[in-house]
Structure 1
Amino acid sequence: MTDSDFVTSTRVFYDTVAEDYAERFRDVLTASPVDRAMLDAFAELVGRGGAVADLGCGPGRVTAYLDSLGLSVFGLDLSASMLAIARREQPGLRFEQGSMLELDMADSSLAGVMSWYSSIHTPVDELPRLFAEFLRVLAPGGHLLIAFQVGDEPKRHDKPFGHDVILDFLRRQPETVVELLEGAGFTLVSRTVREPDPSELTRQAFLIARKPL
């Protein structure tokens, strides 16, 4: 696993805040019908039983939702503390520790890749490498769903929940991400941007892309 500065800082941040973070966002998917609709669409495109990696799975709640839709899904995350929560709360699912930038998976081994707000700590100059790795592990015709906050300036979280850690949450413009995905070899399938709900500060973007046949 590449242990660059942003990877290390991301791991330390989530190891520190894991329990508070998991509790704070416990019901966020239940309260977001548009977000669930995007996951439903992704699952239908992948197809029932399709092998999917939920990369940056955190406490595993999106992993569990994809499992409920009939996908053969497992979660991967940098943070051992997040994975401990995921394994505790979803004991029937598989969770592994690792980096999205260096996936221990064979070429063309997946029908779907999920990056649900997990690329938001990756600097923009590292995104081509990240998207190339997503493309590598997808089978031809496989689908990627990537979600992120829309914007131009990062949101710095300094001492969240009273913990002495700091991390930038990077916002993107959908057009920038689409260009990078297409540059990596993906074909765009869907671009959705929704307005922020009362608990959010920015619009939210959901891109579905496909690896060409």
Structure 2
Amino acid sequence: MDPRTLDAYERDAADYADDWHAQPVDGELREAVRRHFRSGPTADIGCGAGRDTAWLTGAGFAATGYDASPALLAEARRRHPGIPFEHAVLPQLAGLVDGSFQNVLCETVIMHLPPEELAPALRRLTSVLVPGGTLYLTWRVSPGDGGRDGHGRLYTGVDAGTVRAGLGPHSVLADEEVTSASSGRTIHRLIVRTAGPSSPPSP
């Protein structure tokens, strides 16, 4: 995780949490999750203040939120008591066991990683899934190599082809650029299902 980005979230966690919870609901995200996720343990990686984790829980998924920012996790626990939130940092995700989740949601997180951390983060996101598990992955589309915003947050220019290659030979369920209903920003959405008895790799 980029240290300056993490520091920005640590400094202003309450303000970010207020902003995220006030944003419009992303109906496309929720529709895609309902269509592609299967019942079972679900990880929300980069959960922030926990809005999506709470929705996943309410939708019937056994969800746990993970984030690199202790301050954001404190906001998540305060706003959504009774839902588990744990500290974990990409790309290592220390403490998460390989093959322990049916679903992983990683919504607009990987563009905060330095370029050299992208490939190991992608491998790790798929390693925690069971065979036949589903990864919902998005990132904000930035021109060129990206840069930093006024708060110091890193927005790496993430190449979709690099992400596809980094995820490996899994079944692609969705691969598209869309406008986020929550932020109004252009994001790339990639949903894949890992190889398993009921989901052979894409040719």
Q: What TM-score results when the alignment is normalised by the length of structure 2?
A: 0.85
Structure 1 stretches lacking a partner, 5+ long:
1-5, 161-165
Q: Deviations over 1:77-121 (max 9, x none)?
A: 111110111000000200011213222122211101111111111
Q: Equivalents in 2 of 1:198, 1:143: separation in Å?
A: 22
Does 2:152 match 1:157?
no
1:188 is paired with a residue of what secondary structure? Answer: strand
Kept after mapping to 2: 8 A contact 1:111/1:139: yes
Counterpart selection for 2:107 from 110, 116, 127 = 116
**Structure 1 residues 196 and 141 mapped into 2: Cα distance closer, same or farther (>3 Å)?**
closer
Q: Equivalents in 2 of 1:43, 1:198: separation in Å?
A: 18
**Structure 1 residues 87 and 129 mapped into 2: Cα distance closer, same or farther (>3 Å)?**
same
Query: Aligned partner of 1:156: which letter?
Result: R
Does 2:17 match 1:17?
no
Q: How does 1:89-128 map to 2 (within 5 A)?
A: 89-103=79-93, 104-128=95-119
Kept after mapping to 1: 8 A contact 2:126/2:167: no
Query: Aligned partner of 2:126: which letter?
Result: L
How many residues align structurally? 194
Q: How does 1:11-160 map to 2 (within 5 A)?
A: 11-30=6-25, 32=26, 36-48=27-39, 50-103=40-93, 104-153=95-144, 154-158=146-150, 160=151
Q: CA deviation at 1:189?
A: 1.6
Match of 1:205 in 2: 188
Q: Equivalents in 1 of 2:129, 2:36: separation in Å?
A: 13
Q: CA deviation at 1:40?
A: 3.0
Q: Equivalents in 1 of 2:183, 2:107: separation in Å?
A: 18
Q: CA deviation at 1:207?
A: 0.8
Q: CA deviation at 1:199?
A: 6.0
Kept after mapping to 1: 8 A contact 2:43/2:64: yes
Q: Which moved more, 1:127-136 or 1:99-108?
A: 99-108
Kept after mapping to 2: 8 A contact 1:141/1:212: yes
Q: Deviations over 1:41-86 (max 9, x none)?
A: 22442223x1011011100001111112110000011111101110
Does 2:165 match 1:179?
yes
Q: Equivalents in 1 of 2:171, 2:14: separation in Å?
A: 37
Q: Which moved more, 1:185-194 or 1:84-93?
A: 185-194
**Structure 1 residues 199 and 119 mapped into 2: Cα distance closer, same or farther (>3 Å)?**
closer
Q: Equivalents in 2 of 1:85, 1:123: separation in Å?
A: 25
Q: CA deviation at 1:13?
A: 1.7
Query: Aligned partner of 1:113: which letter?
Result: V
Q: Equivalents in 2 of 1:128, 1:197: separation in Å?
A: 28
Q: CA deviation at 1:198?
A: 10
Kept after mapping to 2: 8 A contact 1:152/1:173: no
Identity in percent: 28
Q: What TM-score results when the alignment is normalised by the length of structure 1?
A: 0.82
Q: Equivalents in 2 of 1:17, 1:155: separation in Å?
A: 20
Structure 2 stretches lacking a partner, 5+ long:
197-203
